[in-house]
Every structure is written in C-alpha cells, then in structure tokens.
Structure 1
Amino acid sequence: MNQESNQSSIADGSTKRSIQFDDNPPPKHRQLHHPTLIHSNDTVLCTACKNAFSKDAVKADDFRRRRRNQHHESSEDLAEAVEKGCYFCRRFARHSADPGISTALNEDLILHPRPDPVRLFFASSEQHTGRAWREDDLDDLVCFNLLKRSPDDGSPARLSPRMDSQETFGTMIKWLNDCVRNHPECRVFYSHSTWLPSRLIDVGDPGSSSWKIITTEVHKTPPNYRGYLTLSHRWGSSPFVQLTSDTLPGFQNYTAIDNLPKTFRDAIALAHHFKIRHIWIDSLCILQDSPLDWKRESSRMDDVYSNSTCNIIAAHSEGPDGGLFRVRDPSVLESFVVCSERTGIPSGEYTVWDRTSILNDYNRAPLYKRGWVFQERLLPKRSLHFGKDQVFWKCRRCLACESLPDGIPVAPDNDVVEREKGVIRIRRMRPQEEKDSPEDNETFATVWEHLVEEHSGCSLTYEKDKLAALNGMTGIFSNASLSRYISGIWNTHIARQICWSLDPAAEKKPRPAHPAPSWSWASVQGKVSLRPS
C-alpha cells in the first residue's frame, strides 16, 4: 500500500499530520480526484471512500429517489479495504449482517447533505443483499455525520482501550461536575434534596474494601452524606447476593466488596471516584422475600430515581456479573477531521463520526428491553450509560459520549426524546382546584398513552409486575392532575384508554397469573395500542 504523509496548515497556524491514503484502487475501480483530508493521527481511507468527497453532493430529494454513488464493487474489495484499515469500511463491516466480512455483500455509498449536519449513508443495495430497504427508513443504513468545525474546536477526543481508565473516569467526573454547577434545568422538579430511600448501601470512603446496609429511618441523614447513586441492571438467570430477612442482619455490618457481583463492584468503584459514599441497588435495598416491603418500596421508585445524584446504567450486561467496564478498540470509535471542498457542502473542516454505531449503542442496549428499566431511563435527572463501546452521559441539557464529550449533536432516538420531553411536561403540571385545563388534559392523556405503548412492548420476568413496573411514572402523573388511577387507566380518560388493542403481531400468550381487570391493557401480554389507528 502506497502511503504518503504531509503537513497541512490550518486556520490557527498550527499543523496537523495529514491523513494517510491507500493509493492503490480496488479492482475495477478508477481513481478520482480527491480533496485534502487531514487528521490528528494516522487514519486510512480507501479509494472508494475518498471518492465520496470527490463528487457532487446528492440533494435530499435525490436521496429519496435513491440516487447513488458507486462504492465497492465486490465483497473482496470491501474485505481488502477493511484489512488495510479504511476508516469507513472497518465501521461498515461492524454493521454487516454477517459477523465475518468474507461474505460481506456489495454496498452503495450515498452522500446526503443537510445544512447541519452533513451525513454519509452506507446503504444496502437490494439486488445484492436481498434485504428489504425502504426509501423512508434509515434504520438499516450505516450513517456517518460530518460536523462543521469552528476555529475554537480542539482535536478529536482520543479514547483509552479500557473503559475503566483514569481518562474515562476523568471524563465522567467532568460531566457530573459541569451539570451540577452549570445546568439549572437539571435541578428543577427535584426540590426534595433531603429525601432519602428507606435503605442505602454505605460503600465507605475511596479505597474502602467493604460495604454495609444502613436504614435511613434510624440514621436520618447519614454521616458524610453527599447524595447517592442508583444502579439500573439486569438480574439475569443465575443466583446472586440479595437482601432478605435472613441476610439483613449480616449486611448491616461491614461486608467485603469482593463478595458482590462484578456490576455492583464496578458501580462502587465509580462511587468512590465521585466521592459519593452511598448507592441504592434494588436487590440490596428491598427485602426480596417480603411482599409488604417490596410493595412499599416499589411505590417509591419516582422518588428513588428522581432524587439520586446520578443513575448508573449497566446497559450491555446480561446479568450482575457482566460488569460496567469493557475493553474496546479505540480506532473504530474515534472521530477524525476532514477538509472538503466538494460541491454542495460548505468548504472547510469537518469532524467525521460514526452516527450509526454511537446511536445504536445508546438506543438499542439489551437492558432497555426490560420492563422495570423502562421508567428508570426516564426518571433520573442524570444518567451514565455504560454501552458496548463507550460511556454515555445523559442529562436534561445534553447527551454526550467519550468520543464526542462535548455533546452528540443529533437526537438519540425520536421516541426516547419525545418520552423524556413528555415526562418533563407532566412534571410541570399541577392539579387545578376544580378541573384540569383542556390543554393539560390532552397532554396528560397523550403522554401516558405513548408511555404505555412503549412499556407494553418490554419484557418482564413476571408479567404480574406490569403495573408495578410503572409505579414511578404513575406517581408523577398523580401529582399533575385530579384524575384517579385505576389499573393502568386514568378515570378522566377512561373512554379513550379502555379502547386499547393488542398488536396483531404480538405473540399469543396466556393472560398473566395475577392479571389486571380484563378491561385493562395490563391484562394481556404483548405490545398494545391505546390510540386509534
């Protein structure tokens, strides 16, 4: 492979090392003129991907008509580009339906510009893949965003091979401190700063090797209290340590952290880095053999998660032993800088990032398919999402990740965003003396119906928990209206919410062992719709 490395001047007078090119075009592919591409480290582009910056941009309307530029002509060409380290092709291979790229099929390259940002889509070609591809559906496309850079932008973030590195901890601490100090919108609605869960886990000061359960009714505000963290995790199928009537006495004395599952140990390590001494974990803070305690504590989920300093989400762990921190290949995660002068795109420097990988990691984590976690994603004011490839930060102001630590400049998922906005609107509402306003009434009903539809598509170990797993949400709605809640339906909207329907595609299953009334959507298993089609 012929490579060249040049020094290119940039606006501030400094220099960045030039991007390295593969100057040997793949078979049957002709060399085209390409613009200057620059980067702060050694990044490779194959000829096919360089050509994407050499042609006129495709307008959005033309994109809808599937006007395309040719990418690799064969799976062998793609495999060769991946082997040589092409930035785009390596990332495309990660999205291939086949785990190995030896069977990767022909792909087309589309450039779809918008004023901000410009997008590159790698779109599957029907005649080669046999997969259905709709012009109005971008879910199956591999998309890269080009973000216009300002003179003040620094170099793209460099990632450590390990998610438990000091660099990653430093990034998380910076996110948290910045939010606490500078985001007033992340403090609104959370005025009960003195509220405490019934039990908390005391993990000691940084460096401590033991933990214990404390009862806040006894201790009131604990010594050295600086808030508490919460943990969202998947229970899995293997037995693990839990709080019961038998284990409670022993857990009230200091116990070795090493005896806890890995996800719990990792969460405690994070608490130590944050210098937060207390954490709430459902399996260790609710008596698992006491229906009375479980019922009381599950009704407080709104307060538990809303008042936490930050929620830790073990998004890609299959169970308590999966852990938070992963080893990764930074080279397939980091963004790079490109300078383009092609028609249809404003000339200048752009940061290129892998939109598809980043947003899939955030939106499609296995944990988010779980019914109990549905509300845990919506209730906290701040969350750290430990994904497959990197850590994400989410607060009321921004969504960020390690590779884009200053913020991801696109919506993570329309449904997720709309759910979060809806919950914020409900939090702002207050019951009127006689009846709610028509506008508030409609907002109240619509937001609830959206939540129910999404929640009903999630899975639960015990279907009888379907309503209990929404207790946190019902608490917020109860504080916002005079309406009365009955088995998943609000009495002021009963005429519309009783007309639910089961998704025809839902697997036919028997009713739960302890179902809600037959007129409630919670009486069936599967995704439901509360809105007329």
Structure 2
Amino acid sequence: MALTLCSKCSTLSFHDLFNDDVVFHPDLNSLVQSAKKCESCNLWWTQVQRGCSKEDIAACQAKKLPAHATKSSDNGDFNIYLRGEWHPAGTASVPDQIWLSCGVLVSAAGHDASTKLQTHVAVFADPATPAGALFAGRYSTSSHNPEYHATFAKMTLAACRKGHGVCNQACPPGARQMPTRVIDVGDQTLPASKRVTRIVLTKDLKQPQPYTALSYCWGRGTQAMLSDKNFADFLKFLPESKLSKTHIEAIDLTRLLGIRYLWIDALCIIQGNQKDWESESKRMASVYGNAELTIIAGRSADSGLGFLTNNYLTTKKHPKPVPMKAGPHLHTGEGPDLGTVYLTIQRGKSVGPVDTRGWCFQEALLSNRSLIFGEDQVSYQCRLHTRYEDGCVDIDTSKREQSLTFLNPGTKPEVLRRWYQMLVSFTPRALTEPHDIFACIVSVALITHGVLKARHLAGLWECDMPRGLLWKSRWSYTSRKHFLPIEKPLASPFTKRPGETPGKPVIRAPSWSWAHVTGQVFWDTNPRIESKWIDPQNNCIRPRDPKGLWTAGKVVGNPDVLYMPSLELQIFGRAVEVRCTNVVKKTGLRPEGIMLESMKPAPSAKPAPALATSGTAKPTYIALGYFDFPSDPRPANIWCLLVVTHEGLLLTRDGKGKFHRVGWFAVQDGKQFEGVKETAVDLV
C-alpha cells in the first residue's frame, strides 16, 4: 500500500532541515488537520501529544501563550518550525533527530522556555545504504530489519575486542575460567545436520574457551532442565526440540556470533540437587565475569516467549516509521542523494521485565560485556560505554563504579558506599523464592569481602554496623508517589519448606537486617556527610564482646552463607522506653511520623515544676519515629536505642527479654539521652 504524504512532507529532506529552520505548518491546528491524511504529520502529532503537556497543546491550538512560556514568546508567531540535529556516529547520548518548535525558530529557542511548545522525533537509516554510512541509528522490529540484532552484536563485540583495553584487561582470554558445565552448541565448521548440541564438562576441555552466558526470566516457559536423572543423557545429546524458546534463541545467537559454548542456569546447574545448586550459586562472579558476552533477554517475562523478536510497534501502539529524503552530504551539500532516512518516535532505554528480577541483578552487574534485548531496542554494554541500536552512546562510568569486579575495587569507604548503593537498586526486585535473598548477591558479597576483610552478618558488614543497622524504607522516608512500601516476605507458591504456607509471611533474616523485609530500602551514602558514620565519636553503640565481635556463639560470618534467618547481636547501648503521642503529618518529603515521649524523665533532668491550674506541662519529645510496617498494630512496648548521635532504632522487647527492630527514629531532644546508663541489648 502506497504511503500517504502531504505536499510538504513529500518534499522535505534532512539536508534542508539540517542547514536551516523550515516552516512546517502555519500553526498547530494545521498540523492536526493534516495528520488525518498524512502519515508523516500523524507521526508528528502523535509525538506532540506524547512529549508535550495537554495544557500547552490546548494553549497553542487556541493561539494563546502557554503558562510556562516567557514574555519573549508573546510575539504573535504560532508557526510550526522543524530543524535537524545530526551527530557523528558514536559521539552523542541522543540519536540523530529533528526538533519541532512552535512560535520561535528551533535554532533560536534551543531548549529554552521562550518556545511555546517543543518536541522531537528520531532519525534512522537502514544498514548497507548510503544514508546508513552517515546516520548511526538503526531500527529493528519484527517488520523492519528483523535480523539486524545479529549484525549489531557482531559489530559492537568486534569493536570492543579490538579497541577497549579496559574490557580486555578485565577478562584476558588466556586467564579466562570456564563454568563447571557449558552447552556445546556444535562445531560451526560442520553442516547443521551433523552438529551435536550437548552438555560438556569444562574440565575435559584441553584449554579454556570463549562462551556466552544467558540472563533471563524463567517464567513458566522453562521446559527441559538438567537433573540427576537426565545428566548422562544430556552429556551425549541435548534435544533442542524440548527446550524453551528463549534457550533455543540463545543457542542460535551464540552460533551466529561464532562462539561454541553457552552457559544457561537451567541446563548447567543440576536442578533439584541442593548441593550442586549451592556450590554453583557461589560461582556467579566467575560465570558472568568471564563470559565473552552475556545475552540479556530483557524484554521477555517468560522463557517460553523468546526474546529476539522486537514487537515495539504493536506493544507501544506507535505509528510506523515514515521515510524521508536524506539529501546530499549534510556539510558540503555536494554529491548524490544519500537515499532514504526514516522518522520514528524516539525509543526508550528500558531493559524490561528482567530489570525487576532479583537473580538477574547480579548477573548484569558482574558481566564484562552484555548484549541487552531491551523493551524498545537492542544495546551493547561494556565497561567503557553503552551503545544503543538507535545510535545513542552513553559514556557512563556508573557500571564500572558499581561493579565490584572492576580491576581496582577501591578503598574500603568506596566499596562500602557501592555496597549500599547496590542494595538500593537490588532490594526492589522480586524473588519467587524469598529465601534466595542472600544467594542472589553472594558473588558480590564475596568480592566485597575481599576488600573489607570483615564478617558478613545477614547482609551487614561488621566493620560498619552502626550505618548498616540504620536502613530505612524508601517509601516511608521520601516521596510516596514514586516508591512502594516495604512488606513482609511471603512464602513461594511452590514452597515445600516445613511450617511455611504459600503466600504467607516468612522469616528469612533477623529483624535488624534489611533482608528481613521486601521492598526498597536505602542508606545515606553521600560522601559529604559520610563522616558522621565513620567518626567513632558519633557512634553510640558498641559490641559487648571484648574482641569487637557483634555476635555471640559460633557465627562464622562468611559471605558465602546463603541462609541466615536468625542471628543475635549483643550490644552495649543507651535504650530508653518511650510512648507514642501524636502523629506528625507529612510535610515536604517527610511522611507521617510518630512523636515519641520518654516514659521516664531523663536522669539529668530537673524535676518538673508544678502544673498551673489553667493548663498542663508541655511534653518533651525525645524522637520522631517511623515504623517499618505502619499498618501493623503498635507493639505493647517501644524502646529507642540510640545508634548514632542523631538517629537510632525503634525496638520492642519480647517476653524473653530479647529486642526486635520495628522501625527507626530521628533524635528531637538529645538531652533526653544524656545520663542514660549504657545497658546490654540482645537484638534478634
């Protein structure tokens, strides 16, 4: 079916737009009317609605000044202007694009508020075309260049191998360690009919070989899995017809890349074998860190659906890309027409469902190189940059800074800071089996331990216990609009653990550990205020053990301990019993809090004066408290344990004299803690 374009769109070229501002329509209403018949105008109108506020659109349609605009915009001009923006390949964090502006030239307005309305669409070209040599952006969906992901993967991986010293140094081919088992996808020199797919033991290989690793969501589509029962058979032959679609596509992609071996957890860890599962779970840093490439099936929520095909247009319900003349060379204006470029709604950088899963977090963090099949497009991420299908290149060092596998992990304060920042990103992720909480990050913990040389106690480091104990619910501490409240971990729907009921709360960590809850928690990691945590004069608790150990008994504290549902801290500190009084309503970013008043006057306080007959004495509040689970019934008794000079833990005491965390507090009147005798606190 022939494309329908208006007279203006059919004559536009990117060369014209790149060299000058062009009047596209006399006003926004003209664009809206043209969008009913012209597919290019329809794409622009869709983008205007997508990228501009309803109020600004309505004002421009009524030819009135939008509320955000400055007085300089009140010039009576409501023309719609276009201007192209082009970047040499690999130099910009935005794609080649065309800007639309209302009421002022794009070149004059830029991103300033003097324009009444502004938005943009992306520009891309097909590979192996004259325009493709100039424009870096590509577009691969089920209906447009569906096989481009293979070309993109080969190109970016080859460039990284050749020119990225930091990536090659992080995983030298000669020093590569392979996983215990991998999938042999077959000798590529043989015809497909003669290739045999099977599981191999890497100890039987003469020397380490390059391999890919898969990171994906299992969902309900995972079919054939390695087990003790089929182990011997899979060493001879792995029937691809019985594998899930995601597994099959990962095998096919590995072959296309010219790599012979592939690691997939379901097929390389013996499922149902607890000993093998625990052993292999501790090796994830090696598995993903040494992989030649990690394939991240980000856009797929179920392994039965596959991940190679991008259904961006159908899932997002956006107009199809529309062609446009490229024109001659942009700078010289000479030479033949470069052919066709395309306009499209700008695609996002979201990875997809994989970004919500706990197990996939560590896999991405530990990978040296990753090919990410995101929701809208494919991207390649290494330690130097992230390159997107649409031509964007993010020179972002955050991956190197966050990854504790980088060649120089840094000082102890830096590693601790990264640990807390890592947990802020990890804790919102979902786990089907809640008890996997420590297994999901065991490799990161092992790497962290290599620098800190401290005991790992249920997710906290013994060398930094005061700060570690003061985790906070992100939802309760900051804007509730953007975060979810923390909850109690619920037993897996498939649980077979004694005493657990599917969907009912379970205990997977002591009350003082962040792993006791599910949902996003955070710590103060701002280097400018870090001194308040590391300065011993600010710490108000200490271990009872003369050797400086915070626990009693035979607790090893190794970071590879995968289960730690209970652990007692033995502390000396100042604890004050309090009562809840009035609720402080949320102001600014602070949510509702509970004012806490000491049950007894501070020992150093003077006796209260006699009450006047006309009123009562004003209470003295010791702290403003925040409960971890505000909807739960309030405990029968509440204590404030001062951890640092300005913050502490809300505790409750059980019938055995043990304390349990129920929240945290900010000090309101530090004098109330003066003179309080240090006492023993057993925190469980």
| TM-score w.r.t. length of structure 2 | 0.54
Partner of 1:510: 488
The 1:94/1:78 distance shift into structure 2, 3 A limit, reads: farther
Partners of 2:164 and 2:411 lie apart in 1 by 27
* Runs of 5+ consecutive residues of structure 2 not aligned to the other structure: 61-79, 102-111, 125-130, 314-318, 335-339, 491-505, 526-589, 591-684
How far apart are residue 173 of structure 1 and its match?
Answer: 1.4
Q: 1:30-85: CA deviations, max 9, x gaps? A: xxxxx963369xxxx9xxxxx98549xxxxxxxxxxxxx99745996485267456
The 1:94/1:266 distance shift into structure 2, 3 A limit, reads: farther
Match 1:174 to one of 138, 142, 155: 155
How far apart are residue 380 of structure 1 and its match?
Answer: 1.2
Partners of 1:488 and 1:335 lie apart in 2 by 54
SS for the counterpart of 1:317 is coil
Give yes or no for the alignment of 1:530 onto 2:530: no
Give yes or no for the alignment of 1:447 onto 2:418: yes
Partner of 2:276: 293
Partners of 1:196 and 1:453 lie apart in 2 by 31
Partners of 1:368 and 1:461 lie apart in 2 by 14
Partners of 2:81 and 2:513 lie apart in 1 by 47
Partners of 2:277 and 2:343 lie apart in 1 by 43
- The answer on whether the counterparts of 2:185 and 2:197 sit within 8 Å (CA) in structure 1 is yes
Paired residue type of 2:160: C
1:52-91 matches, within 5 Å, as 53-54=22-23, 72-73=28-29, 77=33, 80=36, 83-84=39-40, 86-89=42-45
Partners of 1:239 and 1:166 lie apart in 2 by 24
SS for the counterpart of 1:200 is strand
Match 1:396 to one of 383, 408, 429: 383
Partners of 2:97 and 2:468 lie apart in 1 by 40
Q: 1:226-277: CA deviations, max 9, x gaps? A: 4110001111134522112222222122133222111111111111112211
How far apart are residue 424 of structure 1 and its match?
Answer: 4.7
The total of aligned residue pairs comes to 435
How far apart are residue 337 of structure 1 and its match?
Answer: 8.0
Paired residue type of 2:406: R
* Runs of 5+ consecutive residues of structure 1 not aligned to the other structure: 4-19, 26-34, 46-50, 56-68, 98-104, 124-134, 340-345, 412-416, 431-438
Match 1:154 to one of 121, 130, 134: 134
Give yes or no for the alignment of 1:373 onto 2:360: yes
- The answer on whether the counterparts of 2:357 and 2:429 sit within 8 Å (CA) in structure 1 is yes
Give yes or no for the alignment of 1:492 onto 2:470: no
Match 2:309 to one of 326, 330, 335: 326
Partners of 1:52 and 1:462 lie apart in 2 by 57
Partners of 2:432 and 2:7 lie apart in 1 by 55
Partners of 1:288 and 1:252 lie apart in 2 by 15
Partners of 1:450 and 1:300 lie apart in 2 by 22
Give yes or no for the alignment of 1:214 onto 2:200: yes
Paired residue type of 1:198: T
Larger RCO, structure (CA 8 Å, separation 6 or more):
1
- The answer on whether the counterparts of 2:362 and 2:440 sit within 8 Å (CA) in structure 1 is yes
1:239-278 matches, within 5 Å, as 240-278=223-261
Q: 1:143-169: CA deviations, max 9, x gaps? A: 54689xxx9962555656548855542
| TM-score w.r.t. length of structure 1 | 0.67
Paired residue type of 2:13: L
Partner of 2:180: 198
Partner of 1:423: 402
How far apart are residue 429 of structure 1 and its match?
Answer: 3.5
Partners of 1:172 and 1:239 lie apart in 2 by 25
SS for the counterpart of 1:373 is helix
Paired residue type of 1:261: S
The 1:145/1:169 distance shift into structure 2, 3 A limit, reads: closer
**Which one has the largest radius of gyration?**
2
SS for the counterpart of 2:214 is strand
Partners of 1:145 and 1:189 lie apart in 2 by 35
The 1:337/1:493 distance shift into structure 2, 3 A limit, reads: farther
Give yes or no for the alignment of 1:363 onto 2:335: no
- The answer on whether the counterparts of 2:510 and 2:516 sit within 8 Å (CA) in structure 1 is yes
- The answer on whether the counterparts of 1:429 and 1:481 sit within 8 Å (CA) in structure 2 is no
Partners of 2:276 and 2:230 lie apart in 1 by 15
In angstroms, what is the RMSD of aligned CA positions?
4.7
- The answer on whether the counterparts of 1:301 and 1:472 sit within 8 Å (CA) in structure 2 is yes
SS for the counterpart of 1:229 is strand
How far apart are residue 332 of structure 1 and its match?
Answer: 4.6
Partners of 1:495 and 1:110 lie apart in 2 by 58
How far apart are residue 428 of structure 1 and its match?
Answer: 3.6
The 1:422/1:258 distance shift into structure 2, 3 A limit, reads: same
Partners of 2:401 and 2:512 lie apart in 1 by 26
How far apart are residue 368 of structure 1 and its match?
Answer: 0.8
Partners of 1:106 and 1:79 lie apart in 2 by 17
